[in-house]
Amino acid sequence: MNKRKQPARGSGKCPVTFALDIFGDKWSLIILRDIVFKGKRHYGEFLNSAEKISTNILASRLAKLESEAVIVKTRDTQNLSRFVYSLADKGRDLLPLLLDMIEWSVKYDPQPDASGPVISGAPDRLLERLHEDRDALIAEIITGMEERNQ
Amino acid sequence: MNKRKQPARGSGKCPVTFALDIFGDKWSLIILRDIVFKGKRHYGEFLNSAEKISTNILASRLAKLESEAVIVKTRDTQNLSRFVYSLADKGRDLLPLLLDMIEWSVKYDPQPDASGPVISGAPDRLLERLHEDRDALIAEIITGMEERNQ
DNA sequence: CTGTATCCTTAGGGATACTG
DNA sequence: CAGTATCCCTAAGGATACAG
């Protein structure tokens, strides 16, 4: 009897567990960060992120995130040999969480990168605006992201 | 030359990476959920969560979260043979993130648990209130948690 | 350059025994 | 019961070769 095999903890259970099963791994949120803040859309761009994800893991995460409908994979009309990865609604709705995460890290990282925006690629005054007009800020980031996808 | 050994990606870098290095594992947020919403404070209570964390992993996560100052470990004055685990400020400040996570899951889980609050132990109308008066709701949850710790 | 496939290592973590 | 220690296995993921 194989009692080792654990079922996925996901759907129908606790919302925290549900979320963790989808993006609670070492790389998924990094990829989303790259899409949202760095404007990345292509395989090679993700490969080049500072954290150096390896190609097999990248492929597997993109596939999983696509299968979970967090991102969408479409053929690049400018270059048929590659795809464009962009956020689906389900991925866009992770932006508040991503912002909370950034805010928390900025508050507690003892060695912050002092210069420039709190996360490279993000609008200036990100955290201030997060409190002043949270929803507007989120809308603006999403709009900016979509404009790049034209 | 051992090029395999990866350094921790943490401090001084991207805020997303910083956060993931502290609580971006399979269990940390589950433990925080148990503290915040289920009122758990003792080792055995964490062991009994639905996700069945094993005892060695629990010990290792509690130690890491304590070393990162996310939680605080104090001796239980009622029973000197055990400890009480509670949130430090750094842990309390993860509550917004936890709430965003729950909101996201409730929106996208195809098989929600229909009855009762969105997460067992949480106040009713959690999500509505999250929009109406986010800060007040967060304050209330924290107050409720601290009262249990008296 | 965009990905896929293969091989291999290791950290995460499960089962369980054990100590106070 | 609270927590530690040990043993072992699996799955995440790193290096690299390869195909289109």
* B124 secondary structure, DSSP code: T
Alpha-carbon distances, residue A61 vs A10, A58, A109, B17, B19 (angstroms): 17, 5, 27, 16, 19
Domain B18-148 classified CATH 1.10.238.10? no
For chain B, positions 14-53, list CB contacts with chain A under 8 A.
Answer: 14-20, 24-26, 29-30, 33, 50-51
Taking the model in full, what pTM does it have? 0.90
C13: residue with closest CA to C1':
B57
Query: What is the pLDDT, as a whole number, of residue B112?
Result: 72
Q: Taking CB atoms and an 8 Å cutoff, what residues of chain A touch B120?
A: 14
Per-residue pLDDT at A75 exceeds 90 = yes
Element (H, E) at B74: strand B71-75
Average pLDDT, rounded, for chain A: 87
Cross-chain residue pair A51–B17, CB shorter than 8 Å: yes
Per-residue pLDDT at A1 exceeds 50 = no
Per-residue pLDDT at B2 exceeds 50 = no
Query: What is the pLDDT, as a whole number, of residue B10?
Result: 52
| Farthest CA pair distance, chain A | 57
Question: pLDDT-based confidence at A2, cuts 50/70/90?
Answer: very low
For chain B, positions 118-147, list CB contacts with chain A under 8 A.
Answer: 118-120
Query: What is the pLDDT, as a whole number, of residue B150?
Result: 59
Nearest to B87 by CA among B138, B25, B26, B50: B138
> Is any atom of nucleic acid chain D found less than 7 Å from the CB of residue B43?
yes
Secondary structure, 3-state, A99-117? HHHHHHHHHHCCCCCCCCC
The shortest CB-CB distance from A18 to any of B90, B96, B105 is to B105
Task: Find out whether B50 and B76 touch, Cβ atoms under 8 Å.
Answer: no
Cross-chain residue pair A50–B14, CB shorter than 8 Å: yes
Question: What ranges make up the beta strands (E) of A49-142?
Answer: 71-75, 83-87
Residues for chain B: how many in total? 150
Give CA–CA dist B61/B23, Å, rounded.
Answer: 9
Per-residue pLDDT at A9 exceeds 70 = no
> Where in chain A are the domains?
18-148
The shortest CB-CB distance from A104 to any of B19, B24, B109 is to B19
